[in-house]
Amino acid sequence: MPDLRFDGQVAVVTGAGHGLGRSHALLLAERGAKVVVNDLGGALDGTGPSSGPAADVAELIVKNGGEAVANGDNVATPEGAQAVVQTAIDTFGRVDIVVNNAGILRDKSLGKMTVEEFDAVLAVHVRGSFLVTRAAFPHMKEQAYGRVVNTSSPAGLFGNFGQVNYSTAKMGLVGLTKSVAIEGARANIRANAIAPIAWTRMTEALFPAEFQEKLTPERISPLVAYLAHESCETTGEVFSVGGGRVARVFVAEGPGWRTDDLTIEAIRDNWDAVMTEEPHLQPTTLGGQATASMQAML
């Protein structure tokens, strides 16, 4: 089987000045994609923008023989997100792949978290991914082709102390992914999400030092590239990825328990049945879930 390549395709990678995004951009470029390297260039909390990180990565790609252009716009604003996609159109004439990777942290326990800290995190992760995808969508529809890869997190899928804002945002990206997958289906636009675990400036304080060599960003990017490839028809899915392991994460619904006479006490008395996991359903649309619920009434 030949290697998977992206010759003639154009990828936008947000937050590609550091960490995971940088690694995704380098891999896609190495495999022939022309890459818009977007990064606001700020600190971990998003403050102090700088054009340096995006420019450095774009320069490295070109030095390696690839094609790239740097972009320093803020994906959390409609104008910034539009400008990121416009950079792809103006420089390379199209956009085939969007990797929504830009992210910030403002960790605090719930009682101490301010509205600003909550909103700022949602703005970059959720609003930014929505805005960049929305800007690219008409181009993808027009060419009847597109690949979107969003960046969720185990913190959103499973929860984490001190990250109410971040967890909310990261689960929000699962909803965004699933609905974009449904809306893009007819135009051959596929959307999936990754929930990575990797050693970057975002996580270096969390992991024991011996994991630095195992949890490299380079062990995340091959999944992003596969999901971004024409040959991958999978859509609306979420994958846990880290240290070389890739696993499907799915949202499932247990068989449930029902009665025509639902009372508080009936729920209490049948709680074990409500909590039963098997046999489970994995609806891929709201319609699929609703049909299953309605069938249970017949």
- Which of these ranges, 29-37, 39-47, 114-122, 273-281, lies near ligand NAI under the rule CB under 6 A? 39-47
Rounded least distance, CB 100 to ligand NAI, Å:
8
104-to-107, 203, 233, 244 alpha-carbon distances in Å:
10, 12, 30, 24
Residue 252 and residue 240: Cα distance in Å, rounded?
16
Binding status of residue 24 toward ligand NAI by CB under 6 A: no
- Between CA 36 and CA 271 the distance in angstroms is 52
Q: What are phi and psi of 154, to 5 degrees?
A: -55, -25
Q: Assess 202 for contact with ligand NAI (CB under 6 A).
A: yes
Residues in the chain: 298
- Cβ-closest position to ligand NAI: 19
Q: Which residue's CB is nearer to ligand NAI, number 11 or number 75?
A: 75
Q: Shortest gap between Cβ of 200 and ligand NAI (angstroms)?
A: 3
Encoded tokens for 247: 């696993």
> Least distance (Å) from ligand NAI to the CB of residue 223?
12
Among 21, 66, 172, 236, the residue binding ligand NAI under the rule CB under 6 A is 21
Contacts of 221 (CB under 8 A, 6+ apart): 20, 23, 24, 26, 27
At 246, the amino acid letter reads V
Among positions 204-223, residues that touch ligand NAI (CB under 6 A) are none
Among 13, 58, 69, 76, binds ligand NAI (CB under 6 A): 76
Residue 197 binds ligand NAI, judged by CB under 6 A = yes
CA torsion, ordered 270, 275, 276, 277, to nearest 10 deg:
160
Binding mask 114-153 for ligand NAI (x = CB under 6 A): ----------x---x----------------------x-x
Number of amino acids touching ligand NAI (CB under 6 A): 33
Q: How far is the CB of 61 from ligand NAI (least distance, A)?
A: 15
Contacting range for ligand NAI; rule: CB under 6 A; set: 86-94, 100-108, 246-254, 288-296: 100-108
Q: Which residues does 88 contact at the CB level (< 8 Å), separation at least 6?
A: 10, 12, 36, 94, 95, 136
Contact segment (CB under 6 A) with ligand NAI among 41-49, 135-143, 185-193, 276-284 equals 41-49
- Which residues bind to ligand NAI, rule: CB under 6 A? 14-15, 17-21, 38-42, 44, 46, 53, 74-76, 101-104, 124, 128, 151, 153, 196-198, 200-203
